[in-house]
Amino acid sequence: MTYQNILLEQPESGIYLLSVNRPKVLNALNAETVSEMESAIRTVSDDRNARVLLVTGAGEKAFVAGGDIAEMQGLHAMQAKTFSQQGLRVLRSLEQLAVPTIAVVNGYCLGGGNELAMACDWIMASDKAVFGQPEVNLGVTPGFGGTQRLTRRVGTAMAIEMITTGRNVKAEEAIAIGLVNHVYPAEQLMDEALKVARTIAAKGPVSVRLAKEAIQRGQHMDLDSAGLLESEVFALCFATTDQKEGMTAFVEKRKAAFKGE
Ligand code: HXC
Protein backbone atom coordinates (compact mmCIF):
# COMPACT_ATOMS: atom_id res chain seq x y z
CA MET A 1 0.00 0.00 0.00
CA THR A 2 1.30 3.48 -0.81
CA TYR A 3 0.88 6.30 1.66
CA GLN A 4 1.28 10.08 1.28
CA ASN A 5 2.52 10.90 4.77
CA ILE A 6 4.15 7.79 6.16
CA LEU A 7 6.37 4.93 5.00
CA LEU A 8 5.86 1.34 6.08
CA GLU A 9 8.84 -0.82 5.23
CA GLN A 10 10.20 -4.23 6.17
CA PRO A 11 13.97 -3.75 6.24
CA GLU A 12 14.42 -7.38 7.33
CA SER A 13 12.15 -10.38 7.70
CA GLY A 14 9.67 -9.81 10.52
CA ILE A 15 10.95 -6.29 11.26
CA TYR A 16 8.63 -3.43 10.35
CA LEU A 17 9.72 0.21 10.21
CA LEU A 18 7.02 2.89 10.25
CA SER A 19 8.36 6.39 9.45
CA VAL A 20 6.26 9.52 9.71
CA ASN A 21 7.29 11.19 6.47
CA ARG A 22 6.53 14.92 6.45
CA PRO A 23 10.04 16.26 7.10
CA LYS A 24 9.23 19.76 5.77
CA VAL A 25 6.92 20.30 8.74
CA LEU A 26 9.06 18.25 11.13
CA ASN A 27 6.70 15.27 10.66
CA ALA A 28 3.75 17.07 12.27
CA LEU A 29 0.70 14.83 12.60
CA ASN A 30 -2.34 15.92 10.63
CA ALA A 31 -5.54 13.87 10.53
CA GLU A 32 -4.55 12.19 7.27
CA THR A 33 -1.22 11.08 8.70
CA VAL A 34 -2.90 9.65 11.80
CA SER A 35 -5.36 7.81 9.56
CA GLU A 36 -2.51 6.34 7.48
CA MET A 37 -0.80 5.25 10.69
CA GLU A 38 -3.97 3.41 11.69
CA SER A 39 -3.91 1.47 8.43
CA ALA A 40 -0.18 0.68 8.80
CA ILE A 41 -0.69 -0.55 12.37
CA ARG A 42 -3.47 -2.83 11.12
CA THR A 43 -1.11 -4.25 8.47
CA VAL A 44 1.44 -5.12 11.15
CA SER A 45 -1.28 -6.50 13.41
CA ASP A 46 -2.61 -8.76 10.64
CA ASP A 47 0.84 -10.19 9.78
CA ARG A 48 1.48 -13.26 11.89
CA ASN A 49 5.11 -13.20 10.77
CA ALA A 50 5.60 -9.73 12.27
CA ARG A 51 8.10 -9.80 15.14
CA VAL A 52 8.73 -6.15 16.03
CA LEU A 53 7.78 -2.63 14.93
CA LEU A 54 10.13 0.36 14.94
CA VAL A 55 8.55 3.82 14.73
CA THR A 56 10.59 6.83 13.64
CA GLY A 57 10.48 10.18 11.85
CA ALA A 58 11.89 10.95 8.40
CA GLY A 59 14.76 13.41 8.08
CA GLU A 60 17.45 14.33 10.55
CA LYS A 61 15.72 16.96 12.61
CA ALA A 62 12.59 15.51 14.06
CA PHE A 63 10.86 12.37 15.26
CA VAL A 64 7.53 14.23 15.30
CA ALA A 65 7.18 17.89 16.37
CA GLY A 66 3.56 17.44 17.43
CA GLY A 67 0.07 17.64 16.06
CA ASP A 68 -0.15 19.80 12.92
CA ILE A 69 -0.68 23.27 14.36
CA ALA A 70 -1.68 24.76 10.99
CA GLU A 71 -4.44 22.18 10.65
CA MET A 72 -5.60 22.48 14.28
CA GLN A 73 -5.61 26.30 14.28
CA GLY A 74 -9.16 26.72 12.89
CA LEU A 75 -10.86 23.75 14.58
CA HIS A 76 -13.94 24.28 16.71
CA ALA A 77 -14.40 22.30 19.91
CA MET A 78 -16.19 19.27 18.48
CA GLN A 79 -13.71 18.96 15.59
CA ALA A 80 -10.88 19.14 18.15
CA LYS A 81 -12.57 16.36 20.12
CA THR A 82 -12.84 14.22 16.97
CA PHE A 83 -9.12 14.76 16.23
CA SER A 84 -8.17 13.93 19.82
CA GLN A 85 -10.29 10.78 19.79
CA GLN A 86 -8.83 9.70 16.45
CA GLY A 87 -5.31 10.07 17.90
CA LEU A 88 -6.23 8.28 21.13
CA ARG A 89 -7.74 5.38 19.20
CA VAL A 90 -4.77 5.00 16.86
CA LEU A 91 -2.16 5.28 19.62
CA ARG A 92 -4.07 2.75 21.70
CA SER A 93 -4.04 0.33 18.75
CA LEU A 94 -0.27 0.88 18.52
CA GLU A 95 0.11 0.24 22.25
CA GLN A 96 -1.98 -2.91 21.97
CA LEU A 97 -0.07 -4.41 19.04
CA ALA A 98 0.92 -7.96 19.98
CA VAL A 99 4.55 -7.46 18.95
CA PRO A 100 7.02 -5.21 20.80
CA THR A 101 7.20 -1.65 19.47
CA ILE A 102 10.13 0.73 19.84
CA ALA A 103 10.11 4.48 19.22
CA VAL A 104 13.40 5.43 17.55
CA VAL A 105 13.59 9.12 18.40
CA ASN A 106 15.98 11.01 16.17
CA GLY A 107 15.21 14.65 17.03
CA TYR A 108 12.30 16.81 18.20
CA CYS A 109 9.73 14.66 19.98
CA LEU A 110 7.10 17.14 21.07
CA GLY A 111 3.40 17.17 21.89
CA GLY A 112 1.67 14.53 19.76
CA GLY A 113 5.15 13.24 18.88
CA ASN A 114 5.96 12.50 22.50
CA GLU A 115 2.52 10.93 22.82
CA LEU A 116 3.30 8.71 19.82
CA ALA A 117 6.66 7.72 21.32
CA MET A 118 5.04 6.87 24.65
CA ALA A 119 2.47 4.65 22.93
CA CYS A 120 5.42 2.48 21.90
CA ASP A 121 6.73 -0.05 24.42
CA TRP A 122 9.99 1.79 24.90
CA ILE A 123 12.04 4.64 23.51
CA MET A 124 15.55 4.60 22.08
CA ALA A 125 16.84 8.13 21.46
CA SER A 126 19.63 9.93 19.70
CA ASP A 127 21.80 12.33 21.69
CA LYS A 128 20.06 15.11 19.73
CA ALA A 129 16.56 14.16 20.81
CA VAL A 130 14.40 16.71 22.62
CA PHE A 131 11.22 15.66 24.43
CA GLY A 132 8.35 17.76 25.68
CA GLN A 133 4.66 18.52 25.91
CA PRO A 134 4.63 22.18 24.88
CA GLU A 135 0.87 22.42 24.28
CA VAL A 136 0.35 25.08 26.98
CA ASN A 137 2.46 27.44 24.82
CA LEU A 138 -0.40 27.20 22.32
CA GLY A 139 -3.18 27.53 24.90
CA VAL A 140 -4.19 23.87 24.77
CA THR A 141 -3.64 20.67 26.74
CA PRO A 142 -2.15 17.45 25.36
CA GLY A 143 -4.82 15.54 23.41
CA PHE A 144 -3.32 12.24 22.25
CA GLY A 145 -2.88 10.75 25.73
CA GLY A 146 -0.01 12.84 27.11
CA THR A 147 -1.66 13.71 30.41
CA GLN A 148 -2.11 9.99 31.07
CA ARG A 149 0.87 8.20 29.52
CA LEU A 150 3.48 10.74 30.65
CA THR A 151 2.16 10.44 34.20
CA ARG A 152 2.39 6.66 34.05
CA ARG A 153 5.95 6.83 32.67
CA VAL A 154 7.56 9.53 34.79
CA GLY A 155 5.21 9.97 37.76
CA THR A 156 2.67 12.64 38.63
CA ALA A 157 5.07 15.35 39.82
CA MET A 158 7.36 15.30 36.77
CA ALA A 159 4.40 14.99 34.38
CA ILE A 160 2.67 18.02 35.90
CA GLU A 161 5.95 19.96 35.82
CA MET A 162 6.62 19.15 32.16
CA ILE A 163 3.06 19.69 30.98
CA THR A 164 2.36 22.92 32.88
CA THR A 165 5.71 24.59 32.13
CA GLY A 166 6.08 23.21 28.59
CA ARG A 167 9.77 22.67 29.43
CA ASN A 168 11.66 20.53 26.96
CA VAL A 169 13.86 17.72 28.22
CA LYS A 170 17.06 16.64 26.45
CA ALA A 171 17.97 12.99 25.92
CA GLU A 172 20.13 12.55 29.04
CA GLU A 173 17.46 13.99 31.34
CA ALA A 174 14.87 11.89 29.53
CA ILE A 175 16.85 8.81 30.60
CA ALA A 176 17.14 10.05 34.17
CA ILE A 177 13.36 10.48 34.51
CA GLY A 178 12.61 7.09 32.95
CA LEU A 179 11.11 8.37 29.70
CA VAL A 180 13.88 6.89 27.52
CA ASN A 181 15.64 3.53 27.89
CA HIS A 182 18.87 4.26 25.97
CA VAL A 183 20.64 7.13 24.19
CA TYR A 184 23.03 6.71 21.24
CA PRO A 185 25.04 9.01 19.00
CA ALA A 186 22.64 10.16 16.26
CA GLU A 187 24.46 8.35 13.45
CA GLN A 188 24.31 5.01 15.31
CA LEU A 189 20.70 5.16 16.45
CA MET A 190 18.98 3.25 13.63
CA ASP A 191 21.69 0.57 13.54
CA GLU A 192 21.27 0.05 17.28
CA ALA A 193 17.48 -0.11 16.89
CA LEU A 194 17.80 -2.72 14.15
CA LYS A 195 20.16 -4.74 16.37
CA VAL A 196 17.56 -4.80 19.13
CA ALA A 197 14.85 -5.65 16.59
CA ARG A 198 16.94 -8.58 15.31
CA THR A 199 17.46 -9.81 18.87
CA ILE A 200 13.71 -9.82 19.49
CA ALA A 201 12.97 -11.38 16.07
CA ALA A 202 15.26 -14.31 16.92
CA LYS A 203 13.41 -15.24 20.14
CA GLY A 204 10.41 -17.53 20.48
CA PRO A 205 7.71 -15.41 18.77
CA VAL A 206 4.76 -16.68 20.79
CA SER A 207 6.62 -16.20 24.07
CA VAL A 208 7.57 -12.63 23.11
CA ARG A 209 3.94 -11.75 22.34
CA LEU A 210 2.61 -13.43 25.48
CA ALA A 211 5.23 -11.78 27.69
CA LYS A 212 4.27 -8.33 26.36
CA GLU A 213 0.59 -9.09 26.91
CA ALA A 214 1.16 -10.29 30.48
CA ILE A 215 3.13 -7.14 31.34
CA GLN A 216 0.61 -4.78 29.75
CA ARG A 217 -2.51 -6.42 31.16
CA GLY A 218 -0.93 -7.28 34.49
CA GLN A 219 0.02 -3.73 35.38
CA HIS A 220 -3.67 -2.82 35.68
CA MET A 221 -4.45 -5.82 37.95
CA ASP A 222 -3.87 -6.69 41.59
CA LEU A 223 -0.75 -8.83 42.10
CA ASP A 224 -2.61 -12.11 42.69
CA SER A 225 -4.70 -11.79 39.50
CA ALA A 226 -1.62 -10.71 37.56
CA GLY A 227 0.29 -13.70 38.93
CA LEU A 228 -2.52 -15.99 37.76
CA LEU A 229 -2.35 -14.36 34.32
CA GLU A 230 1.39 -15.02 34.27
CA SER A 231 1.01 -18.69 35.15
CA GLU A 232 -1.64 -19.04 32.43
CA VAL A 233 0.52 -17.51 29.69
CA PHE A 234 3.47 -19.58 30.96
CA ALA A 235 1.35 -22.74 30.67
CA LEU A 236 0.15 -21.70 27.22
CA CYS A 237 3.78 -21.62 26.04
CA PHE A 238 3.90 -25.38 26.73
CA ALA A 239 1.22 -25.87 24.07
CA THR A 240 3.61 -24.48 21.42
CA THR A 241 6.19 -26.29 19.32
CA ASP A 242 8.48 -23.33 20.06
CA GLN A 243 8.70 -24.37 23.72
CA LYS A 244 9.64 -27.95 22.73
CA GLU A 245 12.17 -26.61 20.21
CA GLY A 246 13.63 -23.99 22.58
CA MET A 247 14.18 -26.40 25.46
CA THR A 248 15.32 -29.29 23.23
CA ALA A 249 17.82 -26.99 21.49
CA PHE A 250 19.23 -25.95 24.89
CA VAL A 251 19.62 -29.56 26.00
CA GLU A 252 21.18 -30.50 22.65
CA LYS A 253 23.50 -27.44 22.84
CA ARG A 254 22.34 -25.94 19.53
CA LYS A 255 20.55 -22.78 18.44
CA ALA A 256 16.76 -22.99 18.48
CA ALA A 257 14.88 -22.72 15.18
CA PHE A 258 11.57 -21.16 16.22
CA LYS A 259 8.51 -21.30 13.97
CA GLY A 260 6.15 -19.04 15.89
CA GLU A 261 3.63 -21.78 16.60
C1 HXC B 1 2.84 22.26 12.00
C2 HXC B 1 5.10 22.56 12.21
C3 HXC B 1 5.09 22.00 13.50
C4 HXC B 1 3.83 21.55 14.00
C5 HXC B 1 7.11 22.57 13.04
N6 HXC B 1 6.38 22.90 11.96
N7 HXC B 1 6.35 22.02 13.99
N8 HXC B 1 3.99 22.69 11.46
N9 HXC B 1 2.75 21.71 13.21
N10 HXC B 1 3.71 20.96 15.21
C11 HXC B 1 6.86 23.52 10.72
C12 HXC B 1 7.20 24.99 10.90
O13 HXC B 1 6.03 25.78 10.81
C14 HXC B 1 8.15 25.22 9.75
O15 HXC B 1 7.40 25.37 8.57
C16 HXC B 1 8.89 23.88 9.67
O17 HXC B 1 8.07 22.92 10.32
C18 HXC B 1 10.23 23.92 10.39
O19 HXC B 1 10.01 24.38 11.72
P20 HXC B 1 10.78 25.64 12.35
O21 HXC B 1 9.93 26.14 13.46
O22 HXC B 1 11.18 26.62 11.29
O23 HXC B 1 12.10 24.93 12.91
P24 HXC B 1 12.98 25.37 14.17
O25 HXC B 1 13.14 26.85 14.20
O26 HXC B 1 14.19 24.52 14.13
O27 HXC B 1 12.10 24.96 15.45
C28 HXC B 1 11.80 23.60 15.71
C29 HXC B 1 10.68 23.51 16.79
C30 HXC B 1 9.48 24.36 16.34
C31 HXC B 1 11.25 24.00 18.13
C32 HXC B 1 10.31 22.03 16.93
O33 HXC B 1 9.12 24.01 15.00
C34 HXC B 1 8.28 24.20 17.20
O35 HXC B 1 8.21 24.73 18.31
N36 HXC B 1 7.28 23.48 16.69
C37 HXC B 1 6.01 23.29 17.38
C38 HXC B 1 6.14 22.31 18.52
C39 HXC B 1 4.83 22.16 19.27
O40 HXC B 1 4.28 23.14 19.81
N41 HXC B 1 4.28 20.96 19.28
C42 HXC B 1 3.00 20.65 19.92
C43 HXC B 1 1.87 20.86 18.95
S44 HXC B 1 0.30 20.62 19.70
P45 HXC B 1 7.79 26.50 7.48
O46 HXC B 1 6.68 26.42 6.48
O47 HXC B 1 7.88 27.77 8.23
O48 HXC B 1 9.12 26.02 6.96
C49 HXC B 1 0.12 18.94 19.75
C50 HXC B 1 -1.19 18.40 20.22
C51 HXC B 1 -1.42 17.00 19.65
O52 HXC B 1 1.01 18.20 19.48
C53 HXC B 1 -2.77 16.41 20.07
C54 HXC B 1 -3.91 16.98 19.39
C55 HXC B 1 -5.24 16.39 19.73
Q: Could you tell me if 219 and 138 lie in one domain?
A: no
What are 54's strand-pairing partners? 17, 102
Largest CA distance in the chain: 65
Q: Are 45 and 93 in contact (CB under 8 A)?
A: yes
Look at residue 256 and give its three-state secondary structure.
coil
Q: Are residues 223 and 115 in the same domain?
A: no
CATH number of the domain that 175 lies in?
3.90.226.10
End position of a domain, from candidates 201, 220, 239: 201
Are 63 and 108 contacting, i.e. CB atoms less than 8 angstroms apart? yes
Q: Which residue numbers are catalytic?
A: 115, 135
19 Cα to the center of ligand 1, angstroms: 17
Single out the residue of 156, 167, 200 nearest to residue 54, CA to CA.
Answer: 200
The CA 73 to ligand 1 mean position distance, Å, reads 12
Query: Which of ligand 1's atoms lies nearest the C-alpha of 108?
Result: 32
Which pLDDT score is estimated for 213?
97
Give the pLDDT confidence score for residue 1 in this predicted structure: 76
- Domain with 227 in it: what CATH number? 1.10.12.10
Cβ 145 under 6 angstroms from ligand 1:
no
Q: Are residues 175 and 232 in the same domain?
A: no
Establish if 69 belongs to a structural domain: yes
Q: Are residues 88 and 53 in the same domain?
A: yes
> Does the beta carbon of 110 lie inside 6 Å of ligand 1?
yes
Residues 77 and 143 both lie in one domain: yes
Phi-psi region of 166 (alpha: psi -120 to 50; beta: other; left: phi over 0): left
Structural domain total, the chain: 2
Distance between CA atoms of 261 and 242, rounded to whole angstroms?
6
Pocket flag, ligand 1, residue 67 (CB < 6 Å): yes
The residue whose CA has the least distance to atom 22 of ligand 1 is 25
257: in domain: no
Tell me: do 158 and 231 sit in the same domain.
no
Residue 103 falls inside a structural domain? yes
Residues 94 and 209 reside in one and the same domain: no
Domain annotation covers residue 258: no
| Residue 144 and residue 217 share a domain | no
CA distances from 207 to 100, 170, 203, 255 (A): 11, 35, 8, 16
Provide DSSP, 170-239.
Answer: EHHHHHHTTS-SEEE-GGGHHHHHHHHHHHHHTS-HHHHHHHHHHHHHHTTS-HHHHHHHHHHHHHHHTT
**Residue 144 and residue 41 share a domain:** yes
Identify whether 256 is part of a domain. Answer: no
For residue 168, is it within any domain? yes
Q: Which domain holds residue 126?
A: 6-201
Per-residue model confidence (pLDDT) at position 245: 97
174 shares its domain with 223 = no
Q: What is the pLDDT along the chain (261 residues), one digit of tens a residue?
A: 789 999 999 999 999 999 999 999 999 999 999 999 999 999 999 999 999 999 999 999 999 999 999 999 999 999 999 999 999 999 999 999 999 999 999 999 999 999 999 999 999 999 999 999 999 999 999 999 999 999 999 999 999 999 999 999 999 999 999 999 999 999 999 999 999 999 999 999 999 999 999 999 999 999 999 999 999 999 999 999 999 999 999 999 999 999 999
Strand partners, 125: 105, 183
- Looking at the domain assignment, is residue 259 inside a domain? no
Q: Read off the amino acid at residue 73.
A: Q
Instruction: Output the CA–CA distances (angstroms, integers) from residue 187 to 11, 28, 107, 127, 205, in the order listed.
Output: 18, 23, 12, 10, 30
Q: Is residue 93 part of a domain?
A: yes
Q: Are residues 241 and 151 in the same domain?
A: no
Task: Report residue 110 CA to chain centroid gap.
Answer: 14
Distance CA 88, CA 98 (A): 18
* Nearest Cα residue to atom 43 of ligand 1: 66
Q: What is the DSSP annotation of 38-51?
A: HHHHHHHHH-TT--
User: What is this structure's pTM?
Assistant: 0.98
Could you tell me if 190 and 226 lie in one domain?
no
